[in-house]
Structure 1
Amino acid sequence: MSSTFSQAGVARVESVIKLIAQTCVDNEKYFSDLDAVAGDGDFGYSLARGFENVIAEWDEYDRSVLSTFIQKVATTMSGRIGGTSGPIWGTAFLRAAISVKDKNDITQADVVAMLRSAIEGIMKRGGASLGDKTLLDALVPLTDAIEADLGKGLDGKAVAQHAAEAARAAAEETAKLEAHRGRASYAGERSIGSPDPGAIAIAVLSERVAEAW
């Protein structure tokens, strides 16, 4: 993988976002079933409705600058998803957009910055930290793996595969945690024993990206 993605890299980012959207729609029932164990069971439904709108509006988004495009996705997510998922996922996309504002070429460092900015936005918006049993518990290890592997000069396929493995392992580990954020936190110790649906979603999405790379 070269240090600069340029327009090909911009197209890659766009294709990854569309793949994320479609995967969330395809896994609506699975994600909702996971959420029903300790939550209110609407996680998959909420994501699917939001990303359905992203897909529906896909061809209408302004693509003159990558950051503008991602910001449009963020706006759709924030405005069309109910509960806490809309603000959280919308904030993640918005912060990612801000981190590459007005850039026409995307570097490896920019990819990491987008993920780090998304993480910071989620933490601030949701008041969550690592270990609170949220999607952060998979997203942070995924980002750490990507940053480390890019530093080693690994090719894109290898980076994506290792990131997926890191996300899956971390997501499964959330079954040992007690939830401290979201509806699952109301279950207290009863939330222990099942993985966090948000973390599993990150694992599924990263695996799908690795498969398609």
Structure 2
Amino acid sequence: MLVLCCVGQAKAFLTIHPKSSQIFSGESVTFRCNIQRGKVTDWKYTWRKDDVDSISRKHEYEISEVNISNSGDYRCLGEHIDNGTYSQWSDAVRLTVTGKSSNLSFTSVSPYTGETVTLTCSVGSDSGWSYTWYKDNTKNVVTLSDRHTTTGATFTISRAAESDQGLYWCQGEIQSRSISSIISDPVTFTVNGE
């Protein structure tokens, strides 16, 4: 067990990339441990996830494809290679890995002819998602018309008609991080006569 009590100890700082409120399964994540004094090569590093430690000469710790089991609290610590002194532990950085499922909801899946219906697609709270809409088994992109509009995560059908009936899907994408969600489960949309 390491006892860290010395005045003037160097402090370890841990950062995570990408820095996002949501990290999705399959993404690459890199932790970087920076210590106030000296070069990164002057230290060897202890990486701690929850209560499990591992030792490395590298100041970076990469997980090439994260999954749910990688979620947890991460810390790092440096041991100076020349004199054996230790830095302080870094503050904990929490990694929360979530799935990439798209969820599709309707204001109504069985409206009457002429009613307005809004479909909402969501993957998570990250605002960087853009959405693609699909209709029927061939997964053709929904055709926009004077009755169909899209605004981010919503697709609106005004004056619902029989031609709008069918199966609908949606999918989210964050282009800047090159990730796509799993396509949502299909929802059957039926329009009732007046």
> Which TM-score applies when normalising by structure 2?
0.26
Greater helix fraction, Structure 1 or Structure 2:
1
> Which TM-score applies when normalising by structure 1?
0.24
User: Higher Cα Rg: structure 1 or 2?
Assistant: 2
